[in-house]
């Protein structure tokens, strides 16, 4: 049965399969008012109490008055034993919030910025976030990923991952240094990366989807904007669960190597997200939900359990 006590390995680091994404701790740019600092700190501390040991963050997760890295450092230092903090570099934001993309020679500065903000002497996992746009971008990742591999050899980084990539870019990165995770946009109705999920499973690489519940865009959570409302509602009712919990449960059932990092600044939503790890979906329910992805035109492979011969 899938629950938070199911684990996967990021290199030599073992984490529970439900983690926490830190982006929403600060509030989103279009929120009417900033998230409460006290609430964000409470979410982080409650996450640890609930068994979350994998937090995903970035130095570019900030608003004019909040920084995710600073909130994590304030809430959790001294860090509990076994906590894995994953961050990402490549993309960046200036003081006005505008995104840009770093040159290979600028990546060390971004790594050191994360180390400084988090109060660490090295980073557990660093993802190369490829491209400055939301969509995937073509091109070779070799020079950028090679620069991170050098920082890994220098001891600033323990393990490497890639984000927002296609299969060829993952293969290229693997030819340079070990890759422990791939972090791409993926969810029940956003199935473009089905084949990449399977490829990661074949290599024993964690696949860590972001926006698995909704996208980060304004209005994306409205019923008319999200396919499969009726199907999700039917399964949710059978489990006395919320639609968001069913989306997370489906994500975890996708494969034993698939992790979840739902983000929230709300303690109640945090507890619901963690509880989603205990939802077991039947074969009939999985087939119904898989049809949502196929109907949306984004579906691909729906194979499961490609790792360790078991279902997620």
Catalytic site positions: 61
In the 8-state DSSP scheme, what is residue 16?
Answer: E
Q: Do the Cβ atoms of 173 and 129 come closer than 8 Å?
A: no
Distance CA 80, CA 133 (A): 35
Q: Give the whole-angstrom CA distance, residue 67 versus residue 57.
A: 10
CB of 267 within 8 A of CB of 46?
A: yes
Taking the C-alpha atoms of residue 62 and residue 287, their distance in angstroms, rounded to an integer, is 39
Helices (H) and strands (E) in the chain, counts: 10, 13
> Hey, which residues does 91 pair with through a beta bridge?
101
> Pick from 160, 200, 179: which is nearest to 301 by CA?
200
The residues facing 190 across adjacent strands are: 187
Tell me how crowded residue 192 is: count the other CB atoms within 10 A of its CB.
Answer: 16
């Amino acid at each position: 049965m899938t629950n938070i006590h199911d684990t996967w390995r990021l290199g030599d680091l073992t984490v529970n399969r439900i983690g926490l994404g830190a982006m929403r701790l600060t509030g989103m740019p279009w929120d009417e008012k900033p998230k409460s600092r006290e609430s964000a700190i409470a979410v982080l501390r409650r996450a640890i109490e609930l068994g979350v040991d994998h937090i995903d963050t970035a130095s570019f997760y900030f608003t004019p008055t909040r920084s995710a890295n600073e909130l994590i450092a304030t809430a959790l230092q001294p860090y509990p034993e076994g906590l894995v903090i994953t961050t990402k570099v490549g993309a960046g934001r200036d003081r006005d919030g505008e995104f840009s993309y770093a040159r290979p020679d600028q990546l060390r500065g971004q790594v050191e910025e994360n180390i400084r903000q988090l109060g660490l002497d090295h980073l557990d996992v660093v993802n190369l976030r490829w491209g400055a746009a939301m969509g995937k971008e073509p091109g070779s990742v070799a020079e950028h990923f090679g620069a991170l591999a050098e920082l890994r050899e220098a001891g600033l980084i323990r393990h490497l991952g890639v984000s927002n990539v296609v299969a060829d870019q993952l293969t290229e990165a693997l030819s340079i240094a070990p890759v422990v995770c791939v972090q791409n946009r993926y969810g029940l109705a956003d199935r473009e990366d089905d084949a990449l999920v399977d490829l990661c499973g074949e290599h024993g690489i964690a696949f860590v989807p972001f926006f698995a519940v909704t996208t980060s865009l304004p209005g994306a959570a409205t019923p008319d904007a999200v396919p499969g409302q009726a199907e999700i509602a039917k399964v949710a009712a059978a489990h006395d669960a919320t639609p968001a919990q069913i989306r997370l449960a489906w994500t975890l059932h996708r494969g034993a190597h698939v992790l979840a990092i739902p983000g929230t600044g709300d303690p109640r939503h945090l507890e619901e997200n963690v509880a989603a790890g205990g939802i077991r979906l039947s074969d009939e329910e999985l087939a119904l939900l898989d049809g949502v992805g196929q109907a949306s035109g984004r579906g691909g492979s729906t194979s499961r359990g490609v790792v360790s011969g078991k279902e997620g």
